[in-house]
Amino acid sequence: MQLSNEQIRQFDEEGYLFLPDCFSPDEVAALREEAVSIYDTDRPEVWREKSGAPRTAFAAHLYNEAFGLLGAHPRLIEPVQQLFGEPVYMHQFKINAKSAFDGEVWQWHQDFGTWARDDGMPDPKAMNIAVFLDEVTHINGPLMLVPRSHKEGVFEAGHDLSTTSYPLWTLDNERVAKLVDVGGIVAPTGKPGGVMMFHGNLVHGSAGNITPYPRKIVYLTLNAVSNYIRKPTRPDWIAHQDFSPIVPVADDALMHYAQRYRQAAE
């Protein structure tokens, strides 16, 4: 899948791009069921909220067939390779949950700030690709983005170790307020199967979810091969150290898996 010139221009100017209907209902249904199964496991890759509800599951592409196919899907890999002009590898893979009633906040932050400080990533030549597994609405904790904030570089950040169960390099309120005065806030919403890609320096966060509607999103962090991390401090299943270029699978590989999954369920 290739981006149009207009889509490339929008990504460059705004720092993000939303692509609806990238994956079919059958493909998403299989992924959603697999995500629920993974959240039910007791393994170090699954992090939980203070309430015990799942918060994120790392590295599922390495131990689950469906997410392995997603992690090498051409609809996700090819647009990033197009923007970077070179092959990419998987820096991080996670399935983030905003559980019904118990999903906690993700504070305001820049992803590249964490990748640089914790992993030794040289440049912001990596980005997140988000795949919606549930419908994301304006009430169930959508990701909030500050458009054009990626053009301001990397900001100073504090290492928040207490607000949530996941440590994060966060921005102070004054900084966020100034950026919002200029760029505003957008919260892309959409049906399952939608895909959002955003720049590593784009400031973003999300509120908690106190609704009965869960919100699961898969995030692939794709990094240019030449931009591999130099000084990793986190476990390999959080910040991967296999810098091999991703070889995309066939476009219909996940659909074939979904068909097998549905037949087995019947």
Separation of alpha carbons 226 and 235, rounded Å: 21
Q: Fill in the amino acid letter for 171.
A: L
pLDDT tens column, 179-238: 999 999 999 999 999 999 999 999 999 988 899 999 999 999 999 999 999 999 999 999
What average pLDDT does the structure give for the chain?
Answer: 92
pLDDT recorded at residue 164: 57
Structural domain boundaries, residue 141: 5-265
Distance of CA 254 to the CA centre of its chain: 19
How do the residues of the chain divide into helix, strand and coil, expressed in percent and rounded to 5?
A: 30, 25, 45
Work out the number of other CB atoms within 10 angstroms of the CB of residue 70.
28
Question: Bigger pLDDT: 218 or 165?
Answer: 218
Q: What is the CATH number of the domain that holds 46?
A: 2.60.120.620
Compute the CA torsion angle 192, 197, 201, 206 (nearest 10 deg).
-10
Q: Which residues contact 1 (CB under 8 A, 6 or more apart)?
A: 74, 75, 78, 79
Q: Which of 7-21, 40-54, 192-206, 226-240 has the lowest mean pLDDT?
A: 40-54
Query: What is the number of structural domains in the chain?
Result: 1
Is the backbone of residue 184 left (phi > 0), alpha (psi -120 to 50) or beta? left
Residue 129 Cα distances to 8, 70, 90, 254, angstroms: 15, 11, 11, 17
- The pTM (predicted TM-score) of the whole model is 0.92
Residue position matching structure tokens 């504070």 = 107
- Please state the rounded mean pLDDT for residues 85-101: 94
Separation of alpha carbons 256 and 44, rounded Å: 30
pLDDT recorded at residue 207: 87
